[in-house]
Chain A
Amino acid sequence: MLEMTAPPSPTTTRELTYAEALRECLRQTMSADPRVFLIGEDIGVYGGAFGVSAGLLAEFGEERVIDTPISEAGIAGACIGAALTGMRPVGEIQFMDFVTLAMEQLVLQAAKVRFMFGGKASVPMVLRMPGGSGTGAAAQHSESLENWFVHVPGLKVVMPSNAYDAKGLLKAAIDDDNPVIFIEHKLLYKTKGHVPEALYSVPLGQTNVVRTGKHVTVVATSIMVSRALAAADELAKEGIELEVLDPRTLRPLDDAPIIESVKKTGRALVVHEAVEMGGFGGEIVARIAASEAFDYLEAPIKRLAGADIPIPYNRELEYHTVPQVENIVREARKLAKGEY
């Protein structure tokens, strides 16, 4: 069953940026629930490296907008301990790359506590972090490490691709009783979209069919969703229709709409920024190949992912490291025309 999970009909056409949408969600959830607090590096006066928490310190004070020393394991541990004892922390890792310094706490503690204790504790925490390249920040500030977390039972992994989802998914993540890795994209922070003012949830684990089409299914994550949509616009001029799906939540993964879509189109292209090997695309391809959609395939399932290198500094090199609109256009066209 294919369903458009479009925003509820707006009473206004109010637009916010992705960063503003996140901030509005934080402000509204903090106002509504005294258990919610923010903790991270430079999130107070500085407002966060990308400005997401700007102004929240003034509004909520130092006790609920906590600037930390440069201590990523400490931030993760602080979230876990607070979550175990009745709070609902929202931590921020300044760049996703730095989460490598907190992996033990996230993978061996946050993800496992509940199971190890026989289902008797819960860790309702969110750890936000910006991933992705495109800002010239080079190899140690541009990682896309989502699949590391996807591989860990006990964690949930969320990657909003637009402002509307950013607000709604963050609300759902804060309400969730499990540790949620919430991966934002640096290049999306300034992108605008319709965002209702009233607080709303976009449930975790619901793939969004962003655009319908009959020729090629494109499954894209994070910033690749908007690039896939731009590619769809291009190809529409040639009569090629892309159906663009955004899983939004990588774990849990709602694969049913993906499989349904491939049954309809017979062709699938998976696009993400992270490197191909061991990337999330492999999971999507495997789910399609192992499903009833296999019998409907008219072409090999293709992946379009980051080059198998660290992110380079030079602007042109960086540009060519990750999928761009023209790459998606080219790959999807080849699939549609049987030129693979």
Chain B
Amino acid sequence: MQLTPEIIQRYHEVMETLGPEELKRMLLDMHTIRAFEERAEQLYALGKVHGTMHLSIGQEATAVGASNAMEDGDYLLNHHRGHGHCMAWGSSAERMMAEFMGKETGYCRGRGGSMHIADVDSNNLGANGIVAGGVPIAVGVGLSIKMRRTSQVCLVIFGDGAANEGAFHESMNMASIWNLPIIYLCENNQYAMSMPYKKAFNIEKISERAAAYGIPGVTVDGNDVLAVYQAVSEAAACARRGEGPSLIESVTYRYKGHSKSDKQAYRTREEVRDWQENRDPITRFTTLLVMAGVITEAEGAAMRDQGVAIIDRAVEFSENSPAPNVADLLEGVYA
């Protein structure tokens, strides 16, 4: 059974802020993210992209729940498994796919690739190839917001692995002492590459670390899009009221390997299947919306096709896009 009483309860709580159209768009976004990731994997297998990629299949609820809790003008910093965050933030599938395929029309003109997609115009300050690389940068974004006296909030998303980097400690502490408007969203997908979170931490919940910095910390079901939405909304409201940073641990699971070279010897097929069959974020949300009468089963099924169609167009756009010109190789290093 994918639905739990908590999920149903949460639905009733968020109904006041999210209307049916928003709920439907969130589900479509989750489908589109999954379609993007599945197509990314296919394109890699077909030899149409080089390099590696980090797929977020199974983690769509965290990306969509978090982004929908933020407002226009807010900032995003995210991590290497970041396609979903970027898409949920509102980036165009065409330009994301073009970046993934290394095209001039991509967000980074083919210079960044999968791990560095950024859309500065929408205050998406970029994914990061370094674990916890964006976490200290959030401090500066928070300081800048404070000094510019705006009501913006910075959402920084990182994984469980990043929470064991020294930079995490420095950043959390600075954000706390200066009361900065930052949401630290730890996407705990259970493994830092092959290192199980249970072996890498001697605490039950990563959110417990918030206490060490004197800030609120909460752990939520990261495969329940509304739970993530609710927690991030509360943290954002808190930040906008001038009450400083929060740490949210979003417990989720990646279905695919860490990257393309992962043989996944560190976990069992049964474990993966258990998450897919019992806690899949898209199945859960679809079931919930059908049960609540927001969509029919047929509409739910059609959304998957809509997501695939968006990605079909994105691939077509990318394949028809020009490659970067080698004559421009040296551009863009200095302003």
Contacts and interface: CB of A to CB of B under 8 A. Distances in A.
- How big is chain A's contact interface, by range? 35 or more
Contacts of B147: 37, 63-64, 82, 87
Interface in A65-117: 66, 68-69, 71, 73-74, 76-87, 89, 104-105, 108-109, 113-117
A153 B331 CA distance: 12
A84 B112 CA distance: 17
A120 B120 contact: yes
A84 B335 contact: no
The dominant DSSP class at the A interface is mixed
Contacts of B173: 69, 71, 74
A14 B125 CA distance: 45
B136 A77 contact: yes
Interface in A1-50: 37, 39
Interface string B143-170: 1111110000010000000000011001
A177 interface: yes
B137 to A, nearest CB: 4
Contacts of B335: 114, 122, 124, 176-178
B282 interface: no
A69 B118 CA distance: 30
Contact of A83 (B140, B167, B171, B334): B140
B140 A118 contact: no
Contacts of B108: 116-118, 120
B174 interface: yes
A89 B144 CA distance: 10
B333 A121 contact: no
> Looking at A71, A83, A116, A154, which has the most chain B CB atoms within 10 Å of its CB?
A116
Contacts of A156: 334
A37 B177 CA distance: 18
A115 B333 contact: yes
A278 interface: no
A64 to B, nearest CB: 8
Given A81-B139, A84-B140, A118-B111, A108 B333 contact: no
Interface in B164-208: 166-167, 170-171, 173-174, 177-178
Interface of B: 75, 77, 106-112, 116, 118, 120-121, 125-126, 128-130, 133-148, 154, 166-167, 170-171, 173-174, 177-178, 331-335
25 contacts: A37-B147, A64-B147, A66-B178, A69-B174, A77-B167, A77-B170, A81-B77, A81-B139, A81-B143, A83-B140, A85-B145, A85-B148, A86-B144, A89-B140, A105-B167, A114-B334, A115-B332, A116-B108, A116-B111, A116-B112, A116-B118, A117-B108, A118-B107, A176-B335, A178-B335
